[in-house]
Amino acid sequence: MSLFSREKRTPLTGVDVVLADLDGVVYAGPGPLPYAIESLQRVERTLRTGYITNNASRTDASVAAHLTELGLTVAPDQVVTSPQAAMRLLVERVPAGSTILVVGGEGLVDEVVKAGFSVTRSADDAPAAVVQGFAPDVAWTDLAEAAFALKVPEDEGGIPWIATNNDWTIPQARGIAPGNGTLVSAVHTAVGRLATVAGKPETPIFREAIARFAATHPLFIGDRLDTDIAGASRAGIASALVLTGIDRPKHLLAAPEGSRPTYILGDLRELHEPYPETRIRGDVTSVRGASVLVDGPDITILSEGDRPIDLVRAGAEAIWRTGRQIFGFRVPERLYADPFHRP
């Protein structure tokens, strides 16, 4: 393949389904992120699109309605939620029609009911399992009921505990807020046992999406290395990290193997742009006009190029290909400068 043809390839080349995270990719809080809607509208014209979210507080129908209000064309069955993935796990572990203690909001309750289970909020109702997901109004009393129900370890006859996800944070319009992982951790601290996780970075939610869309060459777009990109990697899916959410250039440079994206994007407009080739010449890594030299423990910027995203791409590849951890290098601050939009 010639250099010219490589330069014409975009992150969408050869893709049959685009799967996108929501928080930090499409929106932060109720409002859209810059360029996200216009870019995804372009995707919708030629490719099937689906949306994968760890946020368990809303139903698939409400998420679809929100995305439609923002200007996209989304039906409820295009939204894959962590509660739906949790139900795939739950039906394998407890009898149909069982009573389930739910810690979470409407999105989780809706899926538990659709799966044929009964819902309780009290450990006194002898639930067959606990399912826990994020909702803004989850209270100490809810966490306490979960702890009471989970006091006996599962390998000693206790009931299963399934968490929709384990995200430590969630982007909001006012900034970064605690996510479901902090609530799951609170229960873990009380009972000394671990939950089975359905959402990213675990594979159940990706298996649900691949099966639903019959995808053969999907691209997953996310904003977090530890959940989105690591999860896509575990599921064998190509991924794009967009720098509009949680993880920043400095996190990207330090990304361990297994959490490194196929593509690095400043915003979603770059889905439609030719993705530049990374050129390696000895210890110099270049992307377009940006070049980075690895010289022992020193990372040196030889040229910043015309676009900050290319410098990030070159720096990340230069560090990753050494096989060494970032703390073993002296890294110039300019390499992880952050001119990219974030909530």
23 is catalytic: yes
What is the pLDDT averaged over residues 259-284? 97
When mean pLDDT is compared across 1-5, 86-90, 239-243, 294-298, the lowest value belongs to 1-5
Amino acid occupying residue 298: D
Q: In CATH, what number is assigned to the domain containing residue 116?
A: 3.40.50.1000
- Residue 132's DSSP bridge partners are 103, 163
Same domain, 87 and 189: yes
Catalytic-role residue among 16, 21, 124, 223: 21
Catalytic-role residue among 16, 23, 247, 310: 23
Residue 103 included in any domain: yes
Q: Indicate if the pLDDT at residue 118 is higher than 70.
A: yes
What is the pLDDT averaged over residues 288-315? 97
pLDDT tens-place string over residues 47-83 = 999 999 988 888 999 999 999 999 999 999 999 999 9
Q: What is the pLDDT of residue 55?
A: 82
What's the domain count of the chain?
Answer: 3
Same domain, 98 and 131: yes
Q: With CA atoms as reference, report the closest residue to 72 among 42, 94, 96.
A: 42
110 is catalytic: no
Indicate the residue among 136, 163, 197 that finishes a domain.
197
pLDDT tens-place string over residues 120-130 = 999 999 999 99
Q: What is the pLDDT of residue 57?
A: 86
Report the largest interatomic distance among the alpha carbons of the chain, rounded to a whole angstrom.
Answer: 68
Q: Which residue has the higher pLDDT, 1 or 269?
A: 269
Could you tell me the pTM of the whole model?
0.88
**Residues 300, 304, 309: CA angle, nearest 5 degrees:** 110
Q: Indicate if the pLDDT at residue 172 is higher than 90.
A: no
Q: What is the pLDDT of residue 1?
A: 36
Domain that holds residue 307: 278-336
